[in-house]
Amino acid sequence: MEQNRKEGIGKKGIIDESDTFCIIGAGPAGLTMARSFRDKNIPFVVFEKHNEVGGIWDINNPGSPMYESAHFISSKYLSNYFDYPMPNEYPDYPSNRQILNYHRNFAKEYHLYPYIRFNTFINKITQSGEKWLVETNAKEMYLFQGIVCATGITWSPNQPRLKGEDTFLGQILHSVHYKSPNLFKGKRVLVVGAGNSGCDITCDAATNAEQAYISVRRGYHFIPKHILGKPADVFGDGAHWIPNWISQLVFGKLLKFLVGDLSKLGLPKPDHKIFETHPIINDQLIHYLRHGDVIAKSDIDYLDKDSVVFKDGTKEKIDLIILATGYNWSIPYMDEKYFEWKSGRPDLYLTLFNRNFENLYALGYMETDGGAYKMFDEMANLIASFINAKKNHHPSALQFEKLIQKDQPKLNGNIQYLNSGRHSVYVNQVAYRKYRSKVQKKMGWPELKTGQFNRLKTYDPISLDNGSILGVSK
Ligand SMILES: Cc1cc2nc3c(=O)[nH]c(=O)nc-3n(C[C@H](O)[C@H](O)[C@H](O)COP(=O)(O)OP(=O)(O)OC[C@H]3O[C@@H](n4cnc5c(N)ncnc54)[C@H](O)[C@@H]3O)c2cc1C
């Protein structure tokens, strides 16, 4: 490989890989993109800053938001990669370690490891003529045909400043730094934010802290992990033919019946209908609230030395505040001009295609109301189909380019998502799939088929690496 590499180095020390696509990140999105590129014989390489695959699911990947007690939030039945079910012995909601193993086995089975360059942090990507110049932390420079950004959305903590925090005597941590409940021993802990991570972390505090509190700004609908013995997403899956407004009505009533009135537990009443925010799938928190192991508090007003004063006027002595206040999305290795950022989210066609720059794609820059990986697979297949059509000068490529520039589909399935940054690129899974499928059919690009990736399980580096000098690095 060294030999090949030297031959590929141009005058300015740039390694010419200009027939090859470059994926940044070997998390779930990068892995599924790699499988689709292999499937369509599109030459590619993956750069990964960490020493293994799995993205955030590797708790040892520096900066990962994973914590020891984390389990999947969507169930294993609807969260697997296409044509790659999770093992039978896995529980309905696997642990973070099981999910990590699942990703690693996926990468092994489809022979993706040889295409990944580990311990390679991407510093900077710029356009150079019609190609893309990629600079690594080792100051290596590569020229690629195209880029797929797949570096995830949960690396840069959104940490609001709290009034009085400079003189606060306790500790303040963002949830990205929370790993183990041992941290809570003997402390009075306040978790801020009731997203899925916030709820999980509060439950850890419930059984380990001296006293746990959760501060919420608004009321949420808490969906139990199981409904009538079935995982919640499996229970809801059969009802996709029902219009969303009916589902909202029926599910809303069912939830009231199953969970009851949460305002009795000190939580505010939701100011929106069910499904209008990212679902909180958690029944444990309600259990702990009902047992007094967690006490619900309103929004924080200010910090007063060793205490927190809440907007309802109450005051609690607190040793540790965990801010489960989410993440700022960023693509830090690319200048802002390459992506149009709206409400902190990149504006991309179908959340994938850059409208202004050719051969610049992103996968994983969206949130949705269910397991993401099958969707990632379908999205990766769409990107690879477009690249293939362009390569073969198929007329559909031009047609699709026009859509990238002009088409502005609504992908909310007529659900009025809350008007917040988080929901600005939030897609309704059913509406997205329906629309993507319609466009794909129009282009004549096939949907994924069961068994389509099987041939990739047999690795033949000579016929499959397409001559990429990096493709045979391991
Ligand atoms: C606690 C928690 C629970 C979740 N539960 C679910 C669930 O139940 N179901 C579900 O579908 N989703 C869930 N998610 C969403 C989760 O984000 C996805 O499962 C998935 O990990 C996203 O994959 P990704 O590849 O887009 O990003 P990531 O997993 O973030 O992977 C990005 C990769 O890029 C690498 N990278 C970053 N920057 C660089 C750089 N500059 N150079 C080189 N490499 C770089 C990183 O090391 C990483 O390997 C959960 C998220 C969290 C935080």
CA of 152 to the centre of ligand 1 (A): 5
Measured in degrees and rounded to the nearest 5, phi and psi for residue 287 equal -55, -50
Per-residue confidence band for 472, with pLDDT thresholds at 50, 70 and 90: very low
Into which CATH architecture does domain 2-156+328-464 fall?
Answer: 3-Layer(bba) Sandwich (3.50)
CA of 58 to the centre of ligand 1 (A): 9
CA of 246 to the centre of ligand 1 (A): 33
Residue intervals in the chain for CATH 3.50.50.60: 2-156+328-464, 165-323
- What pLDDT score was predicted for residue 104? 98
CA of 203 to the centre of ligand 1 (A): 23
Pocket mutation for ligand 1, best pick of 56, 80, 191, 361 (most atoms within 8 Å of C-beta)? 56
Which ligand 1 atom lies nearest to the CA of residue 47?
A: 43
Pocket around ligand 1 at a 6 A CB cut-off: 24-30, 47-50, 55-57, 61, 65, 70, 72-74, 79, 121-122, 150-152, 154, 197, 333, 364, 371-373
* 3-state DSSP assignment of residue 336: helix
The yes-or-no verdict on residue 31 having pLDDT over 70 is yes
Residue 398 DSSP code? H
Q: What does the alpha-carbon distance between residue 347 and residue 353 come to, in Å, rounded to a whole number?
A: 9
CA of 197 to the centre of ligand 1 (A): 14
Q: What is the residue with the minimal CA distance to atom 35 of ligand 1?
A: 25
CA of 150 to the centre of ligand 1 (A): 9
Which ligand 1 atom lies nearest to the CA of residue 365?
A: 26
Residues 289-341 pLDDT 10s: 999 999 999 999 999 999 999 999 999 999 999 999 999 999 999 999 999 99
Which ligand 1 atom lies nearest to the CA of residue 372?
A: 11
**DSSP H or E segment with residue 275:** none
Pocket mutation for ligand 1, best pick of 75, 151, 351 (most atoms within 8 Å of C-beta)? 151
- End-to-end Cα separation, the chain, in angstroms: 9
Which ligand 1 atom lies nearest to the CA of residue 364?
A: 26
Judge whether 164 and 39 are in contact, CB under 8 Å: no
CA of 377 to the centre of ligand 1 (A): 15
Which ligand 1 atom lies nearest to the CA of residue 25?
A: 34
CA of 59 to the centre of ligand 1 (A): 11
Q: What is the residue with the minimal CA distance to atom 10 of ligand 1?
A: 371
CA of 28 to the centre of ligand 1 (A): 7
Q: What is the residue with the minimal CA distance to atom 49 of ligand 1?
A: 55
**Out of 14-28, 288-302, 362-376, 418-432, least confident range:** 418-432
Which ligand 1 atom lies nearest to the CA of residue 368?
A: 11
Q: What does the alpha-carbon distance between residue 411 and residue 430 come to, in Å, rounded to a whole number?
A: 9
Which ligand 1 atom lies nearest to the CA of residue 28?
A: 25
Tokens 């994983």, residue located: 364
Judge whether 32 and 158 are in contact, CB under 8 Å: no
**DSSP H or E segment with residue 126:** strand 122-128
Q: Does 165-323 carry CATH code 3.40.50.1000?
A: no
Tokens 């919420």, residue located: 216
- What pLDDT score was predicted for residue 8? 59
Tokens 């690129």, residue located: 425
Q: What is the residue with the minimal CA distance to atom 20 of ligand 1?
A: 28
- What pLDDT score was predicted for residue 404? 98
**DSSP H or E segment with residue 287:** helix 284-290
Sheet of strand 294-297: strand arrangement: 171-174, 320-323, 188-192, 211-215, 294-297
Q: What does the alpha-carbon distance between residue 189 and residue 171 come to, in Å, rounded to a whole number?
A: 10
The yes-or-no verdict on residue 212 having pLDDT over 80 is yes
User: Among residues 165, 167, 162, 140, which one has the least CA distance to residue 47?
Assistant: 140
- What pLDDT score was predicted for residue 309? 98
Judge whether 45 and 120 are in contact, CB under 8 Å: no
CB contact set of 234 (below 8 Å; sequence gap of 6+): 75, 77, 78
CA of 153 to the centre of ligand 1 (A): 7
Q: What is the residue with the minimal CA distance to atom 53 of ligand 1?
A: 65
Tokens (6 digits) for 468: 């990429």
The yes-or-no verdict on residue 179 having pLDDT over 80 is yes
CA of 26 to the centre of ligand 1 (A): 9
- What pLDDT score was predicted for residue 253? 85
Per-residue confidence band for 271, with pLDDT thresholds at 50, 70 and 90: confident
Q: What is the pTM of this model?
A: 0.94
